Amino acid sequence: MPRRVIIVGAGGIGRACGLMLLEHLGEDILLGIADVSPAQSHSAVEWINAGLGRPANIEIISLENQVIGEWNPVGDIILDCTPGRFAPEFARVALRQNMHYANLTEHIPATREIYEIARKATTGFALQSGLAPGFINLLALKLVSEYSQTYPGIQVDHILMRVGSLSQYTSSPAHYAFVWSPMGVSTEYLNDCEVVDQGQKITKSSLSEREQITINGIPYEADLTSGGAADLPSFFNGKVQQLNYKTLRYPGHFEYIQKLKNELGDDLNQKTLLQRMLQDIPFHNSDKVLIYCSVSGKDPQQKRFEKIRFGEILPIQMNDVRLMAIQRTTASSLAQTAILLLSNRFRGILTQSKYPVDEFLNGIFIQKHYGEIFRRKV
């Protein structure tokens, strides 16, 4: 019997996830697209059909005048592609309707709230299931496992995760262009980060540990941003010396952001920073996603050994639509998570540290859209 999948949020990630699911699962799923904007939902359906090269039977579910707390959808799973502040509301809907639930948000307060909502759920609730948080955390877990096999007896003590969603070209003053949610960018630049430092899980301020890094011969900068580490700081607390997640940018961008923060002074908040960024930063749809992950440790002679995965994901064409790199990477991770949940093997909260890592990384969506990362081994 086909499984009923409801995607909430008809934006770039939601429609890309719908396209991927229908392309690979076809008649095994019944897809619904729910959004507060009927026009956005219709646009998403047309986009999916163009990507498939054929019309698909997709239900449009209007949330235009719907009180979310009173919404009673019928289905097997809700894939939440809305801004993070709405996540607890849709998680409650899934709990009440006995549906599985997965989201993308790096919003830590919302994630903590859903922990409480789904504590006793009889269905699966997968949180932070996109690119970062999401894929990058599972890649780190995979590297830790591989490291232990390659260097038996040498304990991993550093886990470093780096991801950048970037335009393929940029200019001053910002040295950056928006290729995904501007609201998400400004939020991750201000909220605190969870890390492991000197063996202990602690909180640090975003943009407080800038570093330089070269990938494929190209220089970038990286700095702490919120949410990307998922639950790994808790999982590795007391087990490693250092674990952190940093966002990759072109050189000069973080200095620009610091200048904006200084200018705003006491008026600095998510809204004012976003407004100021929008004055300078253009929107691009020619993007790339950079991924870099390193785990390392020292032998008794203090010689450091390291395992690395890195790569660059670019846009692809699917029939008459173009999948941006950020769509490919985020939506494929969410689609793969949906497959896990629809197996009905998971109950309650499913965080990255509890995923079946190999099953996820070997899944059809991950291998298709992240294959470059697994072919490049260091």
Residues in the chain: 378
Least Cα distance to 204 among 220, 226, 187 occurs for 226
Q: How far apart are the first and last CA of the chain?
A: 44
pLDDT of residue 377: 61
Calculated CA dihedral for residues 20, 24, 25, 31, nearest 10 degrees: 20
pLDDT at 97: 97
Q: Residue 371 and residue 261: Cα distance in Å, rounded?
A: 38
Host H or E run for residue 22: helix 12-25
With CA atoms as reference, report the closest residue to 33 among 67, 66, 3, 9: 9
**pLDDT score at 181:** 83
Report yes or no on 258 lying in a domain. Answer: yes
Residue 26 is assigned to a structural domain of this protein: no
Provide the 8-state DSSP code for 203.
E
Residue 127 has, within 13 A of its CA and on its CB side, a CA count of 32
Largest Cα–Cα distance in the chain?
66
In a domain, 293, yes or no: yes
Q: Specify the number of domains making up the chain.
A: 1
Residue 225 in domain: yes
Please tell me the predicted confidence (pLDDT) of residue 10. Answer: 96
Question: Does residue 186 lie in a domain region?
Answer: yes
Say how far apart CA 336 and CA 189 lie, in whole Å. 28
Q: Per the domain annotation, does 283 fall within a domain?
A: yes
Tokens 């300078």 -> residue: 280
Give 292-317 pLDDT, tens digit per residue. 999 999 999 999 999 999 999 999 99
Task: Considering only CA atoms, give the Rg of the chain.
Answer: 20
Give the domain CATH number at 159. 3.30.360.10
Domain carrying residue 250: 135-315+371-375
Strand partners, 294: 160, 308
320 lies in some domain: no
Q: What is the pLDDT along the chain (378 residues), one digit of tens a residue?
A: 899 999 999 999 999 999 999 999 998 999 999 999 999 999 999 999 999 999 999 999 999 988 899 999 999 999 999 988 899 999 999 999 999 999 998 878 888 999 999 988 999 999 999 999 999 999 999 999 999 999 999 999 999 999 999 999 888 999 999 998 898 899 899 999 999 999 999 999 999 999 999 998 999 999 999 999 999 999 999 999 999 999 999 999 999 999 999 999 999 999 999 999 999 999 998 999 999 999 999 999 999 999 999 999 999 999 999 999 999 999 999 999 999 999 999 999 999 999 999 999 999 999 999 987 876 666
Q: What is the pLDDT of residue 197?
A: 98
Rounded Cα–Cα distance for residues 270 and 9 (Å) = 22
